[in-house]
Structure 1
Amino acid sequence: MDFRTQLAAELPPLRRFARALTGDPALADDLVQDCVERAMVKGHLYDPSRPLRAWLYAVLRNIYISGLRRNGRSTIVKAVDDLVDGEDAVPPEQEHRMSVGSVTAALDGLSAQHREVIVLVTLEEMSYRDVAEILSVPLGTVMSRLSRAREHLRQLLEERGHTGLRRVK
């Protein structure tokens, strides 16, 4: 499979990761577009012995962080507290959708470091080693951040009355 075909296959996971980082679908699409453009230009730097997804996530994350540094602020357009009456979402009618909404809201309540680690490990099912490479941190830091992120996520969900998560040891 050639590089472009592999790159195209990675678009859905890239979008999920970008959405988790930015919290905004439009900004996430822009971030993915920038990532794909950079990957096409810098494709010769990709080491085929490593997973393409991990390399792309690192590229995407670096673009995101560079944007934060350049702008000097977060990319969140509007905070939940800034919403006026009637502007918030209509509560879902199905229990499953409520659970997904609770988890999404709780994920948004995590710090960027915790959110990116938990998304990469749990949703994208990446190895700790790959996540450590993407984030440019030691393996132990990934495990520590993941542990703290899971605990904080559990606390946030309990505060919202969601008891679907349980501690497994």
Structure 2
Amino acid sequence: MDAPPLGGSIELVSPCLPPEFSGRWEHADVLYTVRGQRAGEPVYQACLNKVQKVLYRKLTKASEAADADFYAFSFYYDRAVDLGVIDEKKGGTIRVSDYIQAAERVCSGLLEPQRPFLCLDLVYISVLLQELGFPPHKQLRLARTINQVETSWALGATFQHLESWRKH
């Protein structure tokens, strides 16, 4: 897509947004409007297809993902809190399949999300984890802090790698 001229506008339609949603924001003198697809189309399946297409052949499966203890932070943590699956202060555990099932419910309108991007977030998380080699039954540990130190998303892979060194 060519960049619009300054002061121009762009309209984007996403299959991952509720059909009734329309939002606007301005960036670099361009007005963006984003809205959901037409009502009646299957939001979950359309969003899933789009996310799979975006991630296709961009990731390498990690063979150890199926067996290793894995910690997830940040984005994964926040979405699990949004779903009420984990305690916001204590964290907890979640399976990849929990993200998949929540995506199906949210995208199908069975949950009334306060946040229109929740469908996209959950579909993206579930597809990304599976593309990285995490099977649906894989349980992830979610934490906001470790020993009272705030975590970040990149720390998850590093922490798991360091833990594997200790086991050898």
Length-normalised TM-score, structure 1? 0.27
- Structure showing greater radius of gyration is 2
Query: When you count helix as a share of all residues, which structure comes out higher?
Result: 1
Larger RCO, structure (CA 8 Å, separation 6 or more): 2
Query: When you count strand as a share of all residues, which structure comes out higher?
Result: 2
Length-normalised TM-score, structure 2? 0.27
